[in-house]
Amino acid sequence: MEPGAGQDVRSTLPEGLADAIRGTAEDIAGVLRGVADTSIPVPGSEWTLGEAAAHLAQANELMADIAAGGVRSHGDGTPQSLAAANERALAGFDERRADPLADMIVEHADACLRAMDQGAAEETVATPLGTMTRAELGSYLLTHMLGHGYDLARAVGRPHMIDPARVELTMPFMITAMPRVTNEAATTGLTARYTVRLRGGSGFGATFTDGAATVTPRPSARPDCTILIEPVTFLLMALGRCAPWGAIARGRVLTWGRKPWLAPRFPTLFTAP
């Protein structure tokens, strides 16, 4: 049997991550298949449906190549360079039809899982956001698909595929990436300790010392601000798809601590790549 052909890769990735990657890719393909007009706009984006789907197909292929040990240049890790690299890649890729792109998204996600099954979870690879373990790369792939899958679903008026269990599996990537995407303009001079807890799930600590960020899977000691947030809202906010004040007003975010007013500022401390 070929690796990945009905075979789980739990020996390489955290439990549930391979299934979440496969399921998310299939959910996105289900959103796309049968859509005749891919020139419709994606809400909140400059891309059309076809462009967003093409980007996702290209990104999954890039992740698969990285997982297989390939060295690919795709920006320098800053949001601006990644956006420019995405536009260059799209300009050189003509496919915009929904069904072929749906097939590519699934095919490349599967290829990425097969490649990751060939190495240890802690083996490192070079990604567009810096060095990561294979397990973190898998979490990165899932996070990226969930963000763009949400956009595609909104564009065609279909339910999105983000749920609390999948959000939990994005946390290894989030914790790794956050210090790499801090917003220097927003964090300059900031000294503060946050604890962020996903309702019903895990949490993490984020400490800023004169603007420099440290993010760990453990809550901060004596945090200035504790944030309890509904998981789907957390991911949408982290990816720039949800504004903090609206989520707070709807009761999806609760805050407490010595400086609870720091809570709405937290999402602005990072720039979604």
Judged against a pLDDT cut of 70, whether residue 185 lies above it is answered with yes
Please tell me whether residues 80 and 194 are part of one structural domain: no
Please tell me whether residues 154 and 249 are part of one structural domain: no
The closest of 183, 203, 223, 69 to 137, measured between CA atoms, is 69
Q: Assign 183 to helix, strand or coil.
A: coil
pTM of structure: 0.92
38, part of any domain: yes
Mean pLDDT of the chain: 91
Judged against a pLDDT cut of 60, whether residue 259 lies above it is answered with yes
Judged against a pLDDT cut of 50, whether residue 9 lies above it is answered with no
pLDDT of residue 8: 45
Q: What percentage of the chain exceeds 90 in pLDDT?
A: 78
Query: Cα-Cα-Cα-Cα dihedral of 120, 126, 127, 133, to 10°?
Result: 30
Please tell me whether residues 233 and 136 are part of one structural domain: no
Please tell me whether residues 113 and 162 are part of one structural domain: yes
User: 206: domain CATH number?
Assistant: 3.30.1050.10
10, part of any domain: no
Angle at 199 between CA 207 and CA 27, to 5 degrees: 105
Please tell me whether residues 243 and 140 are part of one structural domain: no
Q: Assign 225 to helix, strand or coil.
A: strand
Alpha carbon separation from 89 to 56, 95, 259 (Å, rounded): 11, 12, 44
The domain tally of the chain equals 2
Report the C-alpha gap between 14 and 110 in whole angstroms: 16
Q: What percentage of the chain exceeds 70 in pLDDT?
A: 95
215, part of any domain: yes
Please tell me whether residues 132 and 242 are part of one structural domain: no
Write out the residue range of the structural domain in which residue 42 sits: 17-168
pLDDT of residue 11: 53
pLDDT of residue 45: 92
Give the model's confidence band at 1: pLDDT under 50 very low, under 70 low, under 90 confident, else very high: very low
CA atoms within a 13 Å half-sphere pointing along the CA-CB vector of 161: 24
pLDDT digits (tens, 9 = 90+) for 114-159: 999 887 767 899 999 999 999 999 999 999 999 999 999 999 999 9
Of 121, 141, 168, the one marking the end of a domain is 168
- Which of 50-59, 68-77, 237-246 tops mean pLDDT? 50-59
